[in-house]
């Protein structure tokens, strides 16, 4: 069973591969940085930071999975072949790199929740 979508739908998938994982990272970064002071003052809201981390990580992981599909669809042609499938090959490889990098950033930022709250407490 193949998950490949015809080449004519490539535009939306490329936009999601690069925009989706990057937007998930940026959303996580904005939320995490703006929520720190509130979480220090209020206490007991660590679950919200973990929930946002999980949601953003899943979005980045899905965008990476779409990039894997582009790579699988395009691996029949070389990257420099000048064909749509060759372009999918290249876009898939770069999308996998971008998606995994964004996923790593999201998980690294999410791991600071425990460290931040240790510094908040007297």
Domain boundaries, the chain: 24-120
Given a cut of 50, whether residue 1 has pLDDT beyond it is no
Taking the C-alpha atoms of residue 108 and residue 97, their distance in angstroms, rounded to an integer, is 16
pLDDT value at position 119?
66
Residue range 53-110, pLDDT digits in tens:
999 999 999 999 999 988 888 777 766 667 777 788 888 899 999 999 999 999 999 8
Orientation of helix 113-120 relative to helix 21-42, angle to 10°: 20
Cβ(86)–Cβ(77) below 8 Å: yes
Cβ(84)–Cβ(7) below 8 Å: yes
Instruction: State both tokens at 53.
Output: 């981390």
């Amino acid at each position: 069973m193949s998950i490949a979508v015809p080449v004519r739908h490539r535009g939306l998938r490329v936009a999601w591969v690069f925009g989706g994982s990057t937007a998930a990272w940026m959303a996580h970064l904005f939320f995490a940085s703006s929520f720190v002071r509130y979480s220090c003052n209020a206490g007991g809201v660590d679950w919200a930071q973990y929930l946002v981390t999980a949601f953003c990580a899943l979005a980045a992981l899905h965008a990476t999975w779409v990039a894997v599909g582009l790579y699988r669809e395009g691996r029949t042609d070389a990257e420099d072949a000048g064909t749509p499938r060759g372009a999918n090959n290249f876009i898939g490889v770069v999308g996998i790199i971008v998606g995994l990098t964004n996923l790593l950033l999201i998980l690294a930022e999410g791991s600071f929740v425990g460290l931040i709250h240790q510094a908040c407490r007297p």
